[in-house]
Amino acid sequence: MMRRLAGLLTLILLLLPLCGPQFAQAQAAPGATADSSAGWRQALDTWREQREREISAPDGWLTLTGLEWLKPGINTFGSAAGNSIQIHAQAPDRMGMLTVTGTAVQLLSPAGGFPAGMLVDGKPPREGPLRASDVKPSTITWHALTLVVLPRGDRYVLRIKDADSPARASFHGLHWYAPDANYRVTARWIPYKPRQIEPISTVIGTVLNMTAPGVAEFMLNGKVALLEPVLEGGDAGKLFFILRDTTSTTTTYGGGRFLTTGLPDHGLDQPGSLTLDFNELYNPPCAYTAYATCPLPPQKNRLPLAIEAGEQRYER
């Protein structure tokens, strides 16, 4: 018996060096999971802080104080009451004229010339055509004011931002649900073949025809759900989800929320997976200003479940 016990002890001693590393690694796994969770939480906190900086920036959505439709022909603009577009902020009485002819928009000077301190794309203004586009439009500035002409449907609008706006001055932070890892899910990516064009309605009654490359299927709170994103920035860009859930009637913005993600792991045109972190749901610009032209969630993205994660309603 003693001889048998001695042999067994010898065998155990011989096996310990082989078992040791694996055993230590198994014990370290919970620590690695904790490190991963801490990294996710830190990244989320950083993202939310950046979100608050963007909202309260000198050119953020809290500075948007006007959105004026341009009519065909001449549109005068400035702070004086006689202008076609009266700017309700500190500004020169007469800043200039915007002329609309078909698809062309030109800037002309008022009587007496452009006001001192006015710039176009960072340079002294000159009469001539403006870039009226959602991508790098011509920018007119005067001290705290920023004006751009943008296409909306088959018309143009003048968007007015004021870095000294009361809304920006009174900003006191955003409101969030507490971070919850249960709202970070892996979704199955189901590509459309061919891709579809999704008509997205906006709050001003226009329609945006956007490319929908597929649908994300996931489980949340014990229910299977589908969300259809549209593309931002082409095949090398990002997926943009415009959605609404049942919290929109209580704690979150009534017009829905946005979520931006990377592309699926096998690309847009192959089945795969992607991560949806609903802790990064954020409000559209319309939550902060009445002058934004936000897209609305399509019917298929109006979920019959509550997503108690991400940004809550903004309280002025």
Domains and CATH numbers, the chain: 61-169 (2.60.200.20), 181-301 (no CATH)
- Confidence (pLDDT) at 173: 96
- Confidence (pLDDT) at 34: 64
Q: Which of 287, 294, 291 is nearest to 148 (CA)?
A: 291
Instruction: For residues 228 and 226, give the distance between their C-alpha atoms in angstroms, rounded to a whole number.
Output: 7
b (16+ CB within 10 A) / e for 21-54: eeeeeeeeeeeeeeeeeeeeeeebeeebeebeee
Question: Which segments in the chain show pLDDT lower than 70?
Answer: 1-35
- Confidence (pLDDT) at 232: 87
- Confidence (pLDDT) at 207: 94
Read off the pLDDT of residues 188-200 as tens digits, 9 standing for 90 and up: 999 999 999 999 9
Q: Per this entry, what is the length of the chain?
A: 316
